[in-house]
Amino acid sequence: MPSSAAPVWSEAELEDHLEFLNSNEAAERTTGTSGYAQSAAYVAARMREFRLQPAVGDDFRVVYTTALNYPISGALRAIADADSTLFYPGIDFLPHGRSDSGEVSVRWLVVTEDTTGIASAPNFPFGVVLRQGDADGSLLRAWRDAGAVLAIAVQPLAPRFYVDRVMGLVAIQLAPDAANALMPRSWSTLASGSRIELPMRIFALVRSDFQQNAGAINLLSYIAGKHPVSAKELVIVCADLDDISKYAGVETVDFQNFGVGTSALLEVARNLSYVSRRWSLPERSVLLAVWSGSQLGHQGLRHFLANPNWPRNRIATVIYVGLAPEEEPVVRQLLEEHGLSLHVIPSGGSPLFTRRFVLQPDPILRRMAGNSRRSGSPEPAADPYVLPDMDDVIEQAVVQAGELAAAAYERLILESTDAGPYFPANEDSLIVPQAADGQ
């Protein structure tokens, strides 16, 4: 049985969570999708099973709205007088997450890294090739205002959603080898601000569904504090649920958001709920939160901070389970703006896979792309579309989730008691307050 000093982490429970969150039933955990709603229903059911207290009324789900630009599909081709080149979604290109819907054609391109060359931009529709990678909205808008109708961000294909779009601009990501096939010479050798006329005309199409009020779901549950004074203070322990598992019609496996943090949080909840019914623990109240919108600039967390259901000046700290290192500065600054401190429980060990994303484009397109391989493009060292053995990945994820749960529980006990972790590791020497249920 779990105790305040020795929680019991269940590999079977963790495996159940991870298998469901990566199953066909929850095949898409992108915020605002039916797959995310299925995942949220699963988490809510487990919270109820663990006898947690719903945050609002009798439901663990808190619905809010967020803006969301969702690329649905795209097409890219280059046509000359007697020849044409077709580019394949998920292989050569992807729509950019800030793209507006529309179809454009251009023959002139400006190659740049920023706004260099914007003053000498053509006075007719043209495209801009952005070499710095993932372009931000202000840069895309600057080029649109200068007359660009197409933006090409040359980068390894990396699906990403945004809460806004750049109206009047079609934007795509283009893989570097595909960029070389599109340009008359290597794009990387062109000076910033170069203006070139192509021997062919580029046609680009993006279909994107912009929703100003997309439905999103956070999951919030409480375990009440037992101290007569400290119970008015709150410790938040949280994780992210959403991922990017489908993008512009291309199936995607997101190994960075595999559900490890949420699975660990549910194990912490199961143990703490059991302990809280038998010991006077925790002293401070605990909010167990699962956020949506982490792939949209942490919209779920932002919504909670803007609409807290606990006095903000009584929130002691936030423990974030499995937060990616590159996201920590953004989250830390966001919390500091609201006067809150952050403790990150990072995932340990090796990543679940060598790449965050593995795109799974249509097999027919993969064969077509292989039959018309770009001239001069090197053969990849390994097939970029082959997935690892998913049973092995689940097994590795179970281990990581157990380690995360143990580290998060230790920090949670420390933060939710005035005296710190006053239960020693040796249960025989525990000084145990009267059990909460009188036993």
Kindly list the domain boundaries of the chain, sorted by start residue. Answer: 11-67+211-363+386-426, 69-210
357 closest CA partner among 226, 253, 260, 219 = 253
Task: Output the CA torsion sign for 148, 154, 159, 163.
Answer: negative
- pLDDT value at position 268? 97
Residues 126 and 53: their CA atoms lie apart, in Å, by: 57
Q: Supply the CATH classification number for the domain 11-67+211-363+386-426.
A: 3.40.630.10
Would you tell me the crossing angle of helices 260-276 and 390-415 to the nearest 10 degrees?
40
Secondary structure percentages of the chain, helix, strand, coil, to 5: 30, 30, 40
Chain centroid to Cα 424, Å, comes to 37
Domain 69-210: CATH class, spelled out: alpha beta
Asked if residues 88 and 62 have their Cβ atoms less than 8 Å apart, the reply is no
User: Which tokens belong to 71?
Assistant: 């690329």
Asked if residues 316 and 411 have their Cβ atoms less than 8 Å apart, the reply is no
Asked if residues 70 and 250 have their Cβ atoms less than 8 Å apart, the reply is no
Task: Output the CA torsion sign for 130, 133, 137, 139.
Answer: negative
Residues 161 and 72: their CA atoms lie apart, in Å, by: 11
Asked if residues 351 and 254 have their Cβ atoms less than 8 Å apart, the reply is no
- pLDDT value at position 66? 96
List phi, psi (to 5°) of 311: -55, 125
346 closest CA partner among 372, 366, 326, 369 = 326
Query: In terms of C-beta density within 10 A (0-12 exposed, 13-18 middle, 19 or more buried), how is residue 38 classed?
Result: middle
Tell me: cis bond preceding 282? Omega within 30 of 0 counts. Answer: yes
Query: In terms of C-beta density within 10 A (0-12 exposed, 13-18 middle, 19 or more buried), how is residue 154 classed?
Result: buried
Number of H helices, E strands in the chain: 9, 16
- pLDDT value at position 378? 58
Per-residue pLDDT of the chain (439 residues; tens, 9 = 90+): 666 668 899 999 999 999 999 987 667 899 999 999 999 999 999 999 999 999 888 999 999 999 999 999 999 999 987 788 899 999 999 999 999 999 999 999 999 989 999 988 999 999 999 987 668 899 999 999 999 999 999 999 999 999 999 999 999 999 998 998 888 777 778 888 889 899 899 999 999 999 999 999 999 999 999 999 999 999 999 999 999 999 999 999 999 999 999 999 999 999 999 999 998 899 999 999 999 999 999 999 999 999 999 999 999 999 999 999 999 999 999 999 999 999 999 998 899 999 999 999 998 888 888 766 555 555 555 688 999 999 999 999 999 999 999 999 999 999 999 754 433 333 333 323 333 333 3
- pLDDT value at position 192? 86
Asked if residues 217 and 61 have their Cβ atoms less than 8 Å apart, the reply is yes
Give Cβ neighbours of residue 121 (< 8 Å, ≥ 6 apart): 110, 143, 146, 147, 148, 195
User: Which tokens belong to 378?
Assistant: 């090197």
Residues 167 and 149: their CA atoms lie apart, in Å, by: 10
Residues 218 and 290: their CA atoms lie apart, in Å, by: 6
- pLDDT value at position 191? 84
Residues 173 and 153: their CA atoms lie apart, in Å, by: 5
Give Cβ neighbours of residue 398 (< 8 Å, ≥ 6 apart): 11, 14, 15, 18
Relative to beta strand 61-79, strand 194-223 is antiparallel
Asked if residues 276 and 374 have their Cβ atoms less than 8 Å apart, the reply is no
Residues 79 and 96: their CA atoms lie apart, in Å, by: 22
Asked if residues 189 and 96 have their Cβ atoms less than 8 Å apart, the reply is no
- pLDDT value at position 379? 59
